[in-house]
């Protein structure tokens, strides 16, 4: 979950500041897959669903897949320039959970810019979204918008390198933009 400092708000009441999480809190090394093969956007979402529930035995990947598909129906989650951020709300979790795949061949993701997608970061957030979960989503959007980071992710050849590039790049992006 996101971290927060307690400060005095209006009328002297204490409130929690919303500070974006570190991606390390929601994405673990075993949630990263380099050079994955997906036949389509739908197949990509299936792979992501399986990765997302890897460490959550009480949730079925089919349920997550349906959540991701439902979210896509509301509007494409492509961020353009070959990156996408499928995300959904999930009952039964308390913290954001994220995974990342780099596809060996890009797939059509119905992107506004028409560019196929090869970098896909998916996230589940709790059904009851709080400010720190919104901050998690905003952080991922900022990170994936970083052109230099996307280039570094594309250069990786192993899942470990992909994870390291994401975490290091996210930290640098946040230091530059999260002050």
Q: Which residues are catalytic?
A: 87
Alpha-carbon Rg of the chain, whole angstroms? 16
CA-wise closest residue to 146 among 118, 106, 173: 173
98 C-beta neighbours (distance < 10 Å), count: 27
Among 122, 143, 117, 132, which residue's Cα sits nearest to residue 69? 122
Could you give the angle at the alpha carbon of 121 between the alpha carbons of 119 and 127, nearest 5°?
160
């Amino acid at each position: 979950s996101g971290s927060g400092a307690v400060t005095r708000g209006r009328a002297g009441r204490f409130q929690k500041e919303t500070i974006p999480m570190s991606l390390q809190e929601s994405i673990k090394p075993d949630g990263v897959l380099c050079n994955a093969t997906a036949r389509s956007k739908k197949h990509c979402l299936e792979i992501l669903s399986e990765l997302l529930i890897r460490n959550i035995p009480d949730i079925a990947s089919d349920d997550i897949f349906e959540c991701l598909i439902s979210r896509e129906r509301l509007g494409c989650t492509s961020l353009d320039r070959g990156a996408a951020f499928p995300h959904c709300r999930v009952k039964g979790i308390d913290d954001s959970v994220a995974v990342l795949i780099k596809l060996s061949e890009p797939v059509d993701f119905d992107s506004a810019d028409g560019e196929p997608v090869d970098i896909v970061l998916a996230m589940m957030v709790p059904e009851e979204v709080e400010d720190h979960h919104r901050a998690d989503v905003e952080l991922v959007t900022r990170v994936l918008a970083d052109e230099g980071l996307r280039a570094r992710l594309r250069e990786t050849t192993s899942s470990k390198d992909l994870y390291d590039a994401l975490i290091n790049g996210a930290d640098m992006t946040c230091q530059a933009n999260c002050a």
